Amino acid sequence: MSKKFDVQKLIGRIRACIDRAPTFNEAERAIVRAHVEAAAYEAAERIANPRIDEMKPPVPRLTKRQVAAIKKQGNLHPWSKRGDDRRWPVDWVRDFYGAWIPGLLQKHILHADPPLYGAFMQHKKRKGLPADLDVPTAAENRLREMPNPAKRRALLMSRRLHAAQVRYLEATRQKK
C-alpha cells in the first residue's frame, strides 16, 4: 500500500469527523480541513523521507564572470558535437564543467548547452545523479539556503500543495 493512498484515507476519515462536528460553521470547517490536510501531507513526507531536515549545504553563488565562462565552455565543448565520445551526460558535466562544482546549477547547463541539459535531465530521471556530483536546481539551492528546517519543510509542502492544485485544475479543465 502506498503512502499517498494511506494519507488520502486518513484525510478522508478526519474530514468526516470534522464535517460531523456541530461546533464548526462552514468557514471554520474549511480552515480546519486545510490545516489537517497540510499536516497529514507533511507527516507522510517525513515518514517517506525521514532525512528531510538533513539537506546538503547550499552551493556557492557564481559570479557573472563565472557564468559567462560556463557559457563559453558550452560553446567550446557542445554535447551535440561529441561525435564518437560515449561518455554519460553526468561525466560530460563533471569533465567540462567540474571547475564550477560546487556552484554549478542545472540552469547554468541549460543556458550553456541545451542539448546537454536535455540528456542530463534524462539521465537524472532514469538513473539519478552520482553522490559526488552536486548540481542542484535553483529551487533546491534556495531550499538549502534556508537555515530554519521548519520553514524549509513549510516551503517544500507549499510547493507540493501548489503542484497538486495545478494538477487538479488541469484535470478538471480536460473533463469539460
Average pLDDT, the chain: 83
Question: Burial code of 32-66, b = ≥16 C-beta within 10 A, e = fewer?
Answer: bbeebbeebbbebbeeeeeeeeebeebbeebeeee
Mean pLDDT, rounded, for 134-142: 92
Question: Is the distance from CB of 77 to CB of 69 less than 8 angstroms?
Answer: no
Share of the chain above pLDDT 90, in %: 43
Residue 176 has pLDDT above 60, yes or no: no
Backbone dihedral region for residue 146 (phi beyond 0: left; psi -120 to 50: alpha; all else: beta): beta
More confident residue, 83 or 19: 83
Express each pLDDT in 58-77 by its tens digit. 999 999 999 999 999 999 99
- pLDDT at res. 138: 93
Mean pLDDT, rounded, for 98-127: 95
Domain ranges of the chain: 1-50, 64-139
More confident residue, 117 or 160: 117
- pLDDT at res. 26: 79
Residue 36 has pLDDT above 60, yes or no: yes
